[in-house]
Amino acid sequence: GAVVSQHPSRVICKSGTSVKIECRSLDFQATTMFWYRQFPKQSLMLMATSNEGSKATYEQGVEKDKFLINHASLTLSTLTVTSAHPEDSSFYICSARRSGEIEAFFGQGTRLTVV
């Protein structure tokens, strides 16, 4: 199988604080991980692509200093939302892909609420 685990599944934080979301590939090595954000009734918007051991590539309009991505190992990538504000409240989803393969597998998502 190809299992991707995301943690936490839900988090509520106060405005101005930082939140870290973890994405782990449990039974395979993920050379590439993707981070998406989904607002209600909208589609998944790609935020950034991270390759193990190198800096993430951010999509246009995504602030790299606000959304810190680290992909330090072949099984773990983290997304840190720094100085979170209510408008950052969203559903954050990661996906992971093995080297040379086409399909990517999704984590279960993290519902972030900033109050």
Partner 1 sequence: QKEVEQNSGPLSVPEGAIASLNCTYSDRGSQSFFWYRQYSGKSPELIMSIYSNGDKEDGRFTAQLNKASQYVSLLIRDSQPSDSATYLCAVKMYQGGKLIFGQGTELSVKP
Between 28 and 36, name the residue whose CB sits nearer to partner 1: 36
Least gap, CB of 104 to partner 1 (angstroms): 6
Q: Does 107 bind partner 1 (CB under 8 A)?
A: yes
Are 79 and 68 a contacting pair, CB within 8 Å? yes
Size of the site for partner 1 (CB under 8 A): 23
Q: Tokens at residue 111, please?
A: 């519902």
Torsion from C-alpha of 77, 86, 13, 94, nearest 10 degrees: -20
23 to 52, contacts with partner 1 by CB under 8 A? 32, 34, 36, 42-46, 49
Amino acid, res. 96: A
Q: Tokens at residue 94, please?
A: 């990661």
* One of 75, 79, 109, 112 touching partner 1 (CB under 8 A): 109
Q: How far apart are CA 74 and CA 49, in angstroms?
A: 14
Between 49 and 89, name the residue whose CB sits nearer to partner 1: 49
C-alpha angle with apex 79: 89 to 40, nearest 5 degrees?
Answer: 30
Lay out the site mask for partner 1 across 55-94 (x = CB under 8 A, - = otherwise): --x---------------------------------x-x-
